[in-house]
Amino acid sequence: MDTAIVGIIANPASGKDIRRLVAQGSVFDNIEKVNIVRRVLLGLEAVGVEQVLFMPDYFGIVPRALESIRVRIDVRPLEMRIRGTQDDSTLAATLMAEAGVACIITLGGDGTNRVVAKGTVDIPLMPISTGTNNVFPVMVEGTIAGLAAGVVARRMVPLEEATLPTNRLDVVIDGRLVDLALVDVAVYDDLFVATRAIWDISKVREIFLARAAASNVGLSSIGGNLSCVRMDSHRGAYLRLAEPGSAEGVELTAPVGPGLVKPLRVSAFRLLAVGDEERVRFQPSILALDGEREVEIHRNREVTIRLSDRGPRVVDVGRTLALAAQHQCFYAVRHRAGGRCWLTELGICQSPC
């Protein structure tokens, strides 16, 4: 088997935006990210991963993780100039794709994974949640994430069974694809990007969703709290919110941010199938992509949001490790000298080899 390369993109800026001040978002510091990466590396080593490429950053998350452990993995930084912006993650993902990385582990929130997807959607992601309103990444212990990512990278189980496909939302302006989101696009009543994170739901006019669930925190919870919505992997949704003070539409309550459970009115709704496009009606405005203001929309532009099935594949941790166990990936030795099977003798396997 060829050497499997795993990439690590740890965002030092995730978990620190304005929602710590205006909501009840917890601060996820970089020391904890160092601890997570340390456990990730030990998990990768345990399943035989031999090489890791990582995105360098101003805090030195991966080098600090290596200070107190010894692993038999060739861990090296990508050759890239860091600028301390989200473009670092996009460039790192692009370089990892060019280097033949078989799985990328990300530490960050929805925004981190969005910019990684701008670099590549062809490599499976193992997204570890260290951000704010996280819908795309998952809360998972670092050791387990490392084991799962290593199993996927080494192709110890079938990729199609161990990973899940995802959709995305394409931002198309005057016929040109300019950006994307993995969870939601919000049309925000403002003229400037300013503080990127959105927190004032009264300024949200339209919402496009790639996924929705009542158990989510953030704008996707609004779609999830509409009892009539039955979204699956093939469908998204469009919602228009009524302006403050209006009696139009249906009123509901949703957790639009950490500790921010707000009433609002949905005045229009439509399910989207893969390939469907919906026009942005409210102009001028700002488009917030996965919770962060990114794109300024000027008056009289042709702006549409398209639901695409070109999102990255995501490692299903539970399914991956269950498959690995079924494929006996964690057995060091199955047979005794002479060919007698330990599993049969212990009563674990009922059919002798």
Q: Which domain holds residue 61?
A: 5-166+312-326
Judgement on whether residues 134 and 19 belong to the same structural domain of the protein: yes
Judgement on whether residues 87 and 60 belong to the same structural domain of the protein: yes
First to last CA, the chain: 24
Judgement on whether residues 145 and 195 belong to the same structural domain of the protein: no
In a domain, residue 216? The reply is yes
Judgement on whether residues 192 and 250 belong to the same structural domain of the protein: yes
Instruction: Please report, to the nearest 10 degrees, the dihedral formed by the alpha carbons of residues 140, 141, 142, 147 taken in order.
Output: -80
CB 260 within 8 A of CB 229: no
In a domain, residue 104? The reply is yes
Judgement on whether residues 14 and 142 belong to the same structural domain of the protein: yes
How many other CB atoms are found less than 10 A from the CB of residue 228? 7
Judgement on whether residues 135 and 153 belong to the same structural domain of the protein: yes
Say which CATH number the domain at 88 has. 3.40.50
Tens of each residue's pLDDT in the chain, 353 residues: 568 999 999 999 886 554 444 444 556 789 999 999 999 999 999 999 999 999 999 999 999 999 999 999 999 999 999 999 999 999 999 999 999 999 999 999 999 999 999 999 999 999 999 866 689 998 999 999 999 999 999 999 999 999 999 999 999 999 999 999 999 999 999 877 666 677 788 899 999 999 998 889 889 999 989 866 666 778 999 999 998 888 899 999 999 888 889 999 999 999 999 999 999 999 999 999 998 999 999 998 999 999 999 999 999 999 999 999 988 888 765 555 667 666 666 666 655 55
Using the structure block, give the residue that is written with the tokens 């290593």: 150
Judgement on whether residues 153 and 173 belong to the same structural domain of the protein: no
Judgement on whether residues 297 and 174 belong to the same structural domain of the protein: yes
* Average pLDDT value for the chain: 89
Q: Where are the alpha helices (DSSP H) in the chain?
A: 19-22, 30-46, 61-66, 87-98, 110-119, 142-153, 159-162, 220-224, 317-326, 342-345
CB 173 within 8 A of CB 185: no
Number of domains comprising the chain: 2
Judgement on whether residues 39 and 124 belong to the same structural domain of the protein: yes
Tell which residue, 25, 12, 10, has the closest CA to residue 142.
10
Say which CATH number the domain at 279 has. 2.60.200
Judgement on whether residues 108 and 217 belong to the same structural domain of the protein: no
